[in-house]
Amino acid sequence: MPYRVTFVCTGNICRSPMAEWILRHHVEEEGLDVEVDSSGTGGWHVGDGADPRTVEALRRAGYRSAHIARRFEEGWFAAYDLIVALDEGHARALRSLAPDAGARHRIRLLREFDPAAGDGDLDVPDPYYGGVADFDEVLRLVEAAIPGLLDEVRAALREA
């Protein structure tokens, strides 16, 4: 059975699909038995593709993407081994939906996996109202957390 990771942001068109496709790239390269997807805390963009600026930032960095936005559902907690929020607001929203302590324990912030982030602000900023540089910054922050996240996934796979 594959290890399942989902990323969660606000509308599921900027940050979480970017993180999804970056992690997908790495688990596919390593041949890890991991399924990766994403969703949002809100339903404003359900059915939409990723923001074109997200797609372009991914393309410039050498990643592929294909995406249809969806909203995280309360009943999905049991389906995931790791639920990765892109900022503290998303983590709070997810914790409020979680049916039990076990589900809450599976919620983590992406930047917890970036040793350079320290104990300070662990939020990945929302680039939606910004420009190309803001999307590139999100990509940089996601990439910085991926090695630590991969370490966590590899360890979980060894334990399984």
CA–CA distance, 20 with 22 (Å, rounded to integer): 6
Residue linked to tokens 């294909």: 66
CA dihedral (86, 133, 51, 67) positive or negative: negative
Q: Residue 155 pLDDT more than 90?
A: yes
CA–CA distance, 74 with 41 (Å, rounded to integer): 10
Domain ranges of the chain: 3-155
CA dihedral (54, 147, 28, 40) positive or negative: negative
pTM of the entire predicted model: 0.97
Residues 6+ apart with CB under 8 A from 100: none
Local structure of residue 51 (DSSP, 8 states): -
CA–CA distance, 15 with 3 (Å, rounded to integer): 21
Residue linked to tokens 């900023």: 125
- Residue 118 pLDDT: 81
- Residue 121 pLDDT: 86
pLDDT in tens, 119-145: 788 999 999 999 999 999 999 999 999
Ramachandran assignment for 127, one of left (phi > 0), alpha (psi -120 to 50 degrees), beta (any other):
alpha
Mean pLDDT of 27-48: 97
Residues belonging to the active site: 9, 15, 126
According to CATH, the topology of domain 3-155 is Rossmann fold (3.40.50)
pLDDT in tens, 79-116: 999 999 999 999 999 999 999 999 999 999 999 999 99
Cβ pair 38, 16 in contact under 8 A: yes
- Residue 120 pLDDT: 80
